[in-house]
Structure 1
Amino acid sequence: MRAKKVTERDRCLKCRRPLRRPSLDGYGPKCRLKIRRAARTNTTHPTWQVAKALELLELGAVVPLRANRIFLVVSDDGTEIYRTAATGQCNCPAGLRSARCYHTVAAEFVAAA
């Protein structure tokens, strides 16, 4: 019997391991647990930003681009894709005004996991 070929969709977005059961958010169970733990221990961001960041993560709207340092994040209405760094840079309208946005909060959670 032939082994099933593992595609990009069948790998965890965080650790790149093959997933036995692909999930909607793109993360494996261990990485998902680490990300949620990072969100729970966060006390530096407003609760509304944490809630929006977790929503982005549940929808699979945060995709690591380079070594879990640069991320592509989909806007909340789904029309734009922003480049975001876990260090605080984002090319969304709020990020261009040097304000902390929830895209960077989501990137921080993934990078901290």
Structure 2
Amino acid sequence: MRAKTANHKVRCLKCGRTLRSPSPDGYGPKCRRKVRRATKAAELTQHKPHLVEKAVELLEQGGVIPLRDTRKNRVFLVVSSDGSETYRTARAACTCPAGLRALHMCAHRIAVHALDLAS
């Protein structure tokens, strides 16, 4: 995360408000509570538990960054689990290897789903 300077204000990744003190996950206190509450939602229990844990970890570490936000298509830049690659992810699709095979829901899509639930 970038340090706060005179010319650059750190903003919440979810709502865009200016943060008084930067946080490692990139969210303000209210948005962080909403995201944490959403990660415990019943809708996410339909996915494999280890993938939900990876998604929660990804959100807590600030690995989900919004690229484009329209009402229909929210696209995020999501960091891989080892931190070496990034993938473009929406709720419907992901460019990671698991997402391209489309056999199972990947942790990246689960993280984006949790962000949608937090809205």
Out of 49, 52, 57, the residue aligned to residue 50 of structure 1 is 52
Where do 4+ consecutive residues of structure 1 move more than 4 Å? none
Counterpart CA distance in 2 for 1:66 and 1:111 is 14
The aligned counterpart of 1:67 is 69
Question: What secondary structure, in the 3-state scheme, does the structure 2 residue paired with 1:100 have?
Answer: coil
Out of 83, 89, 111, the residue aligned to residue 106 of structure 1 is 111
Shift of 1:13: 0.3
Does 2:94 match 1:90? yes
The one-letter amino acid of 2:117's match is A
Quick one: structure 1 residues 47 and 14, their matched pair in 2 at CA, closer, same or farther if it must change by over 3 Å? same
What is the RMSD of the two structures over their aligned residues, measured on CA atoms? 1.6
Deviations 1:34-53 (A, max 9, x none): 11111101322121111100
Deviations 1:12-52 (A, max 9, x none): 00000011111001011111111111110132212111110
Question: What secondary structure, in the 3-state scheme, does the structure 2 residue paired with 1:63 have?
Answer: strand
Answer whether contact 1:6 1:18 (CA < 8 A) is retained. Answer: no
Out of 77, 81, 85, the residue aligned to residue 82 of structure 2 is 77
Unaligned 5+ runs, structure 2: none
Number of residue pairs the alignment of both structures matches = 108
TM-score normalised by the chain length of structure 2: 0.84
Shift of 1:7: 2.5
Counterpart CA distance in 2 for 1:66 and 1:51 is 25
Identity of aligned residues (%): 56
